[in-house]
Structure 1
Amino acid sequence: MKMKTFLATKSPFLIIAALAVCVGTARADVIMDWNAKADAIAAEKKVLPVPQARTMSMLHVAMFEAVNAIERRYTPYKLDLVADRSTSKEAAAATAAYNILLTIYPDQKSALDAALLASLSGIQDSDGKANGIELGKIAASGVIALRKDDGSDAQETYRPYTAPGVYVPTVVPIATTAGATSPWVMTSVSQFRPAPPPALDSETWTKDVNEIREVGARNSTTRTAEQTAIGRFWFLVGPPSFNPIVRQVASAKHMDVVDCARLFALAEIAANDAIVAVFDAKYHYNFWRPMTAIRNADITHNPMTTREASWLPLGETPMHPEYPCAHCIISASVSTVLRSIAADEIELSMISPTAPGVTRKWSKIQDYSDEVANARIYAGFHYRFSAEVGKDMGRKIGDLTVRTQLRGLEARADPKQ
């Protein structure tokens, strides 16, 4: 087996749904199995969405680089790996995943050792298996090196706004440094930073804050029972909120291990860039949440938005600035990738631990993404303009990812690409 590694000089919860399996191509199970293992570890350790997104993107880029090196079906992300076609893709993918997760979760070594043994036990001992194991180690090492200085370890230094001696809540907002992390695809974290939120005397602000005052209130009399269920369903955030969708799409399209690895890699790096982009924008604009705005509506001097002193949203407001909607940008980026690769019309369903007994179903990927955006309004977390801006950012990031990353080999030879 010939392998070369080359780093390009350009910088670069308990499982919440039944694990969808690639029924048509059993070999692709290895990609989804390790995706589910990573979700399970993050759930057990209560990992927040930003670091989990980083882990998932590293995991799936490493698995893609490993299996793609054997067939060279697509252009790599940054690694240049070449392996003999007799090399076991399953062994390469499992070993790459194992080494990424072991690096990030060294305390999980025992469980990860058992998982790797289970993945490799069904592969016949041979040079192909041994070479696959070695290839997986190299792919993981390459991705770890790529992300070593990506800014994800930036020290949190959030400074609460107050006056001398005046109390303010002492809970530090989350993801204050996420915008310092290097993106996988974007040229900068601010590449798709949107225009500022609307003025507090504008027609858009007046309409949208009054909408969420009515439909997003905990004691709302206008929100329907289904809208309440949807709002609670999507209290679920981060990779567990979209990984089951990606698994179902891979299953529906009967993808082999290489195509499955590529689909997951594209979805995860798009989602990671979406998270980085949205938190860059959130802390740039530092825009107030509906609960703050409605309880302080008297200070805006807008006679069309009245103060409601005891207003509460349906759920507990996330601990970070409002604008734009993070859940919206992430679901839109992932759905754009999925629609580009697998088309829009696919039967999907999902359950959520935040809405026990509820199963949501969609016949189009776009419907899933639109529901997520509406859910944040029903929950009382986001204004409609913020949801629309988030969706637009997500579409742009998803489109950029598909157009520029992991392309078919013909793209490398096309000077227009």
Structure 2
Amino acid sequence: MKKIVLALVLGLAAAGLSAPADAEPQVDSVRVWNELALTAVRATRATDADAARTYAMLNVAIYDAVNGLAHPARAHALVPGPGPRGADSRAAAVAAAHVVLVRLDPARVVEYDAQLQADLAGLRPGHQRDAGVRWGREVGVRVVTSRTDDGSTPVQTQPAGAGPGVFRAEWSGVQYRDVRPFAVTDPAAHVPGPPPALDSLDYAAAFAEVALLGDAAITAPDKLATFEFWSVPTGTGQPAGEWVKIALTVSQDLPLPASARLMALLTMTLADTTVPTVATKFTYRHWRPATAIREADTDGNPWTQPNPSWAPRAGSVGGTPEYPSGHSSYSGAAAAVLAGFFCADTIRFTHTTDTAPGGQARTYPSFSAAAAEAGKSRVFGGQHFEFSNQAGLAVGRGVATEVLATRLLKRTGPSHHGDCPL
């Protein structure tokens, strides 16, 4: 814990912030409203793309509500300030969060209303609180309005494919390849080149690896546990949600403005990572290892051998095209944002995912170590080739690099300390 606190202090310094003895701790509502969003994603069985969008809308609203009351303010995310001078930033944050979650998850409006009232009851009543509420509601409405035509609906589907190298099943959610980003200028700039050719040695090497490590017929409790830990399918907080949880863990001592900025940077990056990830899947339609291994006699590669009875350790083939790994994309993006924000990758933390076997936590020495394990877990599950893991990690890191370099920076003065955004 001492190492985490030290890293947070260094992160504050790198961000151009100070932490005087009487500084207020992180506002609980940042955590509470993100945990409510996680619950909503689980309850609504949101897709990974929809989940990332939800987290981004929530945290952008919180950030813009708080930032609009700061003097001087940083660059805004979606809603420029200024808000009313002297308004309570805590009231603004919870009011903005409330608007977003009520609009995105109306089935739980009673719970959101109760949380809002509890949060406001903890603040001093009066003009400042009321002004903060009005400003936060305005920001929340404007965030929701700005994303109503972002391309995330209606749902579009790519038909099932056929032939060697092609993903066979129909899959939905392909509209996300064209969704308007939150932070990056051109998501297409982050789309990688194609996977290795089916008849290449590189493909055969990746084929051999997943055929062994991801084979359900081979008993490997450690590989299975790692896959399950990071599997987080529909009905959980989804991959993006695990990194929201990690961010909340390592940022618990930050003051409200810094916490709001971190969560906005993180979730905008996660949401924007969805776009090139889906675009790449849609473009290349690469087959999953299960199909590839069972039908290796059709790939034209002399170094691959078919195994018609092969089954992935995960128990399923996978529901979207294989290249790249979406879990890897989200993990690479989040790890890069957290390391960039704190100007330190080697921050030790303990984490339990929604699908951790037996609820057992794991401890990681760095953000990148957790991302590497999350990506490799997809190979252990027989869901992805290693080249798709590496491509996903690179996509996420690329999006994160652009976001950290260009968004939510100071309006005047130096914007970076080395590679770290101030």
What TM-score, normalized to structure 1? 0.87
Shift of 1:159: 2.4
Which residue does 1:21 correspond to in 2?
none
Q: Distance in 2 between matches of 1:50 and 1:411?
A: 36
Q: Does the 8 Å contact 2:152/2:179 carry over to 1?
A: yes
Q: Distance in 1 between matches of 2:386 and 2:212?
A: 13
Which residue does 1:6 correspond to in 2?
none
Q: Distance in 2 between matches of 1:57 and 1:183?
A: 10
Q: Does the 8 Å contact 1:39/1:239 carry over to 2?
A: no
Which residue does 1:391 correspond to in 2?
393
Q: Distance in 1 between matches of 2:317 and 2:176?
A: 19
SS at 2:173's partner residue? coil
Which residue does 1:241 correspond to in 2?
242
Shift of 1:48: 1.6
The aligned amino acid for 1:89 is S
Matched, 1:100 2:100: yes
Change (3 A) 1:174 1:234: farther
Shift of 1:111: 1.4
Shift of 1:46: 1.4
The more displaced of 74-83 and 240-249 is: 74-83
Note the alpha carbon deviations across 1:24-83, whole angstroms, 9 max, x for none: 844422111100001111212211211111111111001000001111442112322113
Change (3 A) 1:387 1:270: same
Note the alpha carbon deviations across 1:260-284, whole angstroms, 9 max, x for none: 0000000000000111110111011
Which residue does 2:319 correspond to in 1?
319
Which residue does 1:401 correspond to in 2?
403
Change (3 A) 1:332 1:350: same
Which residue does 2:348 correspond to in 1?
347
Note the alpha carbon deviations across 1:153-196, whole angstroms, 9 max, x for none: 13424323479xxxx98x74242221121111222332211111
Q: How many residue pairs were aligned?
A: 383
Q: Does the 8 Å contact 1:325/1:390 carry over to 2?
A: yes
Q: Does the 8 Å contact 1:192/1:393 carry over to 2?
A: yes
Is there any run of 5+ residues in structure 1 with no aligned partner, and where?
1-23
Shift of 1:338: 0.5
Which residue does 1:194 correspond to in 2?
192
Q: Distance in 2 between matches of 1:360 and 1:209?
A: 29
Residue pairs, 1:161-176, within 5 angstroms: 161=161, 172-176=170-174
Shift of 1:413: 9.4
Q: Distance in 2 between matches of 1:162 and 1:380?
A: 21
Which residue does 2:120 correspond to in 1?
120
The aligned amino acid for 2:126 is S
Q: Distance in 2 between matches of 1:125 and 1:27?
A: 21
Q: Distance in 2 between matches of 1:331 and 1:188?
A: 20
Q: Does the 8 Å contact 1:322/1:381 carry over to 2?
A: yes
The aligned amino acid for 2:44 is K
Which residue does 1:218 correspond to in 2?
216
Matched, 1:207 2:205: yes
Shift of 1:122: 0.4
Q: Distance in 2 between matches of 1:382 and 1:153?
A: 28
Change (3 A) 1:81 1:295: same
Shift of 1:145: 2.4
Q: Does the 8 Å contact 2:210/2:380 carry over to 1?
A: yes
Which residue does 2:365 correspond to in 1?
363
Shift of 1:346: 1.5
Change (3 A) 1:365 1:85: farther
Is there any run of 5+ residues in structure 2 with no aligned partner, and where?
1-22, 233-237
Q: Distance in 2 between matches of 1:127 and 1:227?
A: 57
Note the alpha carbon deviations across 1:115-155, whole angstroms, 9 max, x for none: 11111110111111001100101111221222121101134
The aligned amino acid for 2:365 is S
SS at 1:91's partner residue? helix
CA-based RMSD of the aligned residues comes to 2.1
SS at 2:364's partner residue? strand
SS at 1:361's partner residue? strand
Matched, 1:232 2:231: no
Shift of 1:240: 2.3
The aligned amino acid for 1:261 is A
Q: Distance in 2 between matches of 1:333 and 1:350?
A: 18
Q: Distance in 1 between matches of 2:271 and 2:301?
A: 38
Change (3 A) 1:190 1:154: farther
The more displaced of 363-372 and 346-355 is: 346-355
Q: Distance in 2 between matches of 1:335 and 1:25?
A: 27
Change (3 A) 1:309 1:78: same
The more displaced of 119-128 and 350-359 is: 350-359
Q: Distance in 2 between matches of 1:160 and 1:392?
A: 27
Q: Distance in 1 between matches of 2:274 and 2:32?
A: 24
The more displaced of 43-52 and 285-294 is: 43-52
Matched, 1:182 2:183: no
Matched, 1:60 2:59: yes
User: What is the percentage of aligned positions where both structures have the same residue?
Assistant: 28
Moved segments of 4+, more than 3 Å: 24-27, 411-414
Q: Distance in 2 between matches of 1:293 and 1:336?
A: 32
Change (3 A) 1:248 1:159: same
Which residue does 2:273 correspond to in 1?
274
Which residue does 1:17 correspond to in 2?
none
The aligned amino acid for 2:225 is A
Note the alpha carbon deviations across 1:332-370, whole angstroms, 9 max, x for none: 111111101112121211113323322211021111111
Q: Distance in 1 between matches of 2:231 and 2:78?
A: 35
Q: Does the 8 Å contact 2:65/2:93 carry over to 1?
A: yes
Which residue does 1:151 correspond to in 2?
151
